[in-house]
Amino acid sequence: MGAAYFDQFKVVDLIAITNSSMMMMFAVAVALILLKGNRLIPNRWQAVMETLYDHFHGLVKDNAGTQYFPFVFTLFIFIAFLNILGLFPYVFTVTVHVVVTLGLSFSIVIGVTLGGLWKFKWNFLSILMPAGAPLALAPLLVLIETVSYISRAISLGVRLAANLSAGHLLFAILAGFGFNMLTTAGVLNIFPILIMVFISLLEAAVAIIQAYVFSLLTTIYLADTIVLH
């Protein structure tokens, strides 16, 4: 019984490729179709996309350098579209799998480390020692900062996967509960439906917010390759 709720996360082999990879390709295709637009006077959808572009451009310029803008924007679009498309019934959500999110976050943190070492050489290790702290505390501080630097990668990936997994489990459980209550007639059966509507709205918000948080934190981490602490 308990395992049935997890069946929605199962990776199965469809036509030649798995549902996971099919969903990723679908998200890329949908994103590219929706991002297409070069009207001088934008229509509604293009206005949304240009607002996103403008916002992320400002964000990346303020925190890191503009050379990271294409990557951060692509990351946001990719995760946001995967999350949103995963909300539809009978589709697979790629980002509930920890390997996808942890794979992305570890790649990013390793990339930041390599980029920082490339630019600042051994001075990059000053990230492990906060400025102005007494030297006597150094053995302790370096240890703590090392742990916090490594846990960046874990927290970045687990946050996304856990949020999405929890949301989709909540969907499955509440939908089953609501359907049971619907079939047994009564006035009260409006409540599970109302709760489902509310949860759907909440999950749509979570899908965008988590994608935004992921790309925002990526931007902040990428700033370490630009400015030395």
Partner 1 sequence: MPQLETATYLTQYRWTLIALFLLFSFMVVSVLPAVKTNFLIRRSIGAGWTGAPKTSDLNKGPASLWSWDKI
Q: Please list every residue from 147 through 166 that binds partner 1, using CB under 8 A.
A: 161, 165
Contact window for partner 1 (CB under 8 A) among 63-71, 115-123, 133-141, 221-229: 63-71
Report, in angstroms and rounded to the nearest whole number, the Rg of the chain calculated over CA atoms: 22
Interface residue with partner 1 among 59, 78, 156, 225 (CB under 8 A) is: 78
Binding pattern for the stretch 31-50 against partner 1, x by CB under 8 A and - elsewhere: xx--xxxxxx-x------xx
CB of 126 to partner 1, least distance (A): 27
Distant-in-sequence, close-in-space partners of 153: CB < 8 Å, separation ≥ 6: 102, 105, 106, 108, 109, 110
Tokens of 6: 């997890």
Binding pattern for the stretch 79-108 against partner 1, x by CB under 8 A and - elsewhere: ---------------x-xxxxx--xx----
Helix then strand then coil, in percent of the chain rounded to 5, is 80, 0, 15
Candidates 43, 64, 92; CA nearest to 216 is: 64
Interface residue with partner 1 among 18, 115, 125, 212 (CB under 8 A) is: 18
CA distances from 173 to 7, 40, 86, 135, 181 (A): 12, 47, 17, 54, 12
CB of 71 to partner 1, least distance (A): 7
Phi, psi angle pair for 13, to nearest 5°: -85, 115
27 belongs to the binding site for partner 1 (CB under 8 A): yes
CA dist 156 and 196 (Å) reads: 28
69 belongs to the binding site for partner 1 (CB under 8 A): yes
Tokens of 37: 């637009």
Binding positions for partner 1, rule: CB under 8 A: 6-7, 9-11, 17-18, 20-21, 24-25, 27-28, 31-32, 35-40, 42, 49-50, 53-54, 57, 61, 66-67, 69-71, 73-75, 77-78, 94, 96-100, 103-104, 161, 165
